[in-house]
Structure 1
Amino acid sequence: MTEALGILGVGHLASYVVAGLRKAGDNRTIRLSPRNRETSEALRQTHGCEIAPDNQAVADECRVILLAVRPQHLDALLDTLTLRDDHLLISCVAGVSLDAIRQRVGPARVVRTLPLACAEVGEGVVPLFPDEATARELLSPLGRLIAFDAERAFELASMAACVNGWTYAFLDRLSEWFAGQGLSPEQARELVVHSIRGATGLAAGFPERSLRGISDSIATPGTYTRDGLDALEARDAFGAWEDACQLIKDSLDS
């Protein structure tokens, strides 16, 4: 029998996790904490979730719990929660280490993850630390699950959420340019989104090929692709992305 899932902290992350699970055909019982009543009620009506009377009721009725509160709300929640040794707590709390949570939850087992917004459609990266069978089974339908055996590697991988958000802004900028050249906004959006989807699809389909190798096989001398790539590299366009990543890493390390 499929384990029921309890969710403590019903906000955006919980919403797209629930939507992603249901889209993947996961019909398990999902019990929600009641604090964000509006969001919990929307998930109840849209995805058949149940709303528990309080946080402890979620823990009492569900062995597997997704912890999805903001870091500043974590202490207040854990101060009032009692967990058992058969509980699996899957923490989505950004920036809070495994040890820091373990010290607060007694005998419960703890793992960390951080699904992206695209988990709602079963796409993107789902980092997991450490690897654990029940968590892997639950989270795998939400995207490409990558398990890590070191927390530092997991923290680096969690930056994918930031890169994901930046990518939408980049796609918007390109879409606006194509629309400015005469395409309809709908055509421009579809053109850009599916061009990027095609690029990532090809890369995923040939994991043995280096990403630079794929680029060089397309951007051959004398092509428009090569000319545009040379212009981007001359302006260190990709260096700005590295700078943004380093900014986030420095914040995580501090």
Structure 2
Amino acid sequence: MGTIVFVGAGSMAEAMIAGIVNNEVMPAKDVFVMNKSDDERLFYMQQSYGVSLVCNERNALREAELIILATKPKDSKQVMCEIANYLHDNAAVLSVIAGVSIETIENGLGKRPIARSMPNTSATIGKSASGVSMNELVDSNLRKRILDLLSSIGIVREFEEDELHTVTALSGSGPAYVYYMVEALEEAAIAKGLSNEVARELIIQTFEGAAAMLRQTGEEPERLRKNVTSPGGTTEAGLKALENRLFKETIQHCINSAERRSRELGALS
């Protein structure tokens, strides 16, 4: 793949750039980054990852083979308006903006090969879980290159575009839910007298071990849960407390709320 330009330099752009550079997907000098006004942020990206900064928007965008839109949803229309005239006809677009549809991007940047994806910030260490949808102008060669790019930062699966709202709610936002649960477990452990360091170590290993069991054994989570749960034991007591506080219903509400917000962001863009 030739040069790529990240339009936006926020956390998602940084996560993807870190994955691309650290996994040597392409030379850092061929990865360009631009944003609207935060020069300090751009210099940080250059110093941290060795990427190139866009000094001349017109030239950088016209020479780019792939434009990665990574702005905030509320800024997407204005940004597309600002860059539309600079893109060459064959330039492809990969959007990682939550909620913004392929149709909206086509309206803003013209009919061209467009893919819409939702990675997560674990892309930084090559552990993202990404969903992607592509329009009919993405040919088989470009499709492979986009999938290879996203695979370099974790796993990627293709979806119908409407399903990306659920993917965004589940895996796009998912790391935050996990971190929030870790916060809660740490607070509970510390309240019972464990040190922060010990609690953190135990929790991380517990999450890593449970994830590895799911992947390596291929067992259903229900079966693995039951294997841990002895009748009348400590695990059963803890699970009953979660059930009594409608844990599954709360998770369902969490996903529904995030998915609904994804659709709202799309409608506002």
Give TM-score scaled by structure 2 length: 0.86
**Distance of 2:6 and 2:262 partners within structure 1:** 26
The superposition leaves residues 184-226 of structure 1 with CA deviations (integer Å, 9 ceiling, x where unpaired) of 211111111221121112112234x222122122224244222
Name the residue aligned to 1:164.
175
Q: Contact between 1:6 and 1:64, CA under 8 Å: does it hold in 2?
A: yes
Residue 253 (structure 1) shift: 4.3
Alignment of 1:83-232 (within 5 A): 83-130=87-134, 132-148=143-159, 150-159=160-169, 160-207=171-218, 209-232=219-242
**Distance of 2:74 and 2:262 partners within structure 1:** 16
Q: 1:122 to 1:89 in 2, by over 3 A?
A: same
Give TM-score scaled by structure 1 length: 0.90
RMSD of the TM alignment (CA)? 1.9
Name the residue aligned to 1:32.
33
Name the residue aligned to 2:72.
70
Q: Contact between 1:33 and 1:54, CA under 8 Å: does it hold in 2?
A: no
Name the residue aligned to 2:267.
none
Residue 140 (structure 1) shift: 0.8
Q: Return the structure number with greater helix share.
A: 2
Deviates more, 1:28-37 or 1:5-14: 28-37
**Distance of 2:82 and 2:35 partners within structure 1:** 14
Q: Contact between 1:65 and 1:89, CA under 8 Å: does it hold in 2?
A: yes
Residue 174 (structure 1) shift: 0.5
2:249 is aligned, of 222, 227, 239, to: 239
Q: Contact between 2:9 and 2:42, CA under 8 Å: does it hold in 1?
A: yes
Q: Contact between 2:98 and 2:262, CA under 8 Å: does it hold in 1?
A: no
Q: Which SS does the other structure have where 1:94 is aligned?
A: coil
Residue 91 (structure 1) shift: 0.3
Name the residue aligned to 1:248.
258
Residue 100 (structure 1) shift: 1.1
**Distance of 1:237 and 1:93 partners within structure 2:** 30
Which protein, 1 or 2, shows the higher relative CO under an 8 Å CA cutoff with sep ≥ 6? 2
Gap runs ≥5 in structure 1: none
**Distance of 1:124 and 1:252 partners within structure 2:** 19
**Distance of 2:242 and 2:75 partners within structure 1:** 43
Quick one: percent identity of the two aligned structures?
22
**Distance of 1:186 and 1:61 partners within structure 2:** 49
Q: Contact between 2:5 and 2:31, CA under 8 Å: does it hold in 1?
A: yes
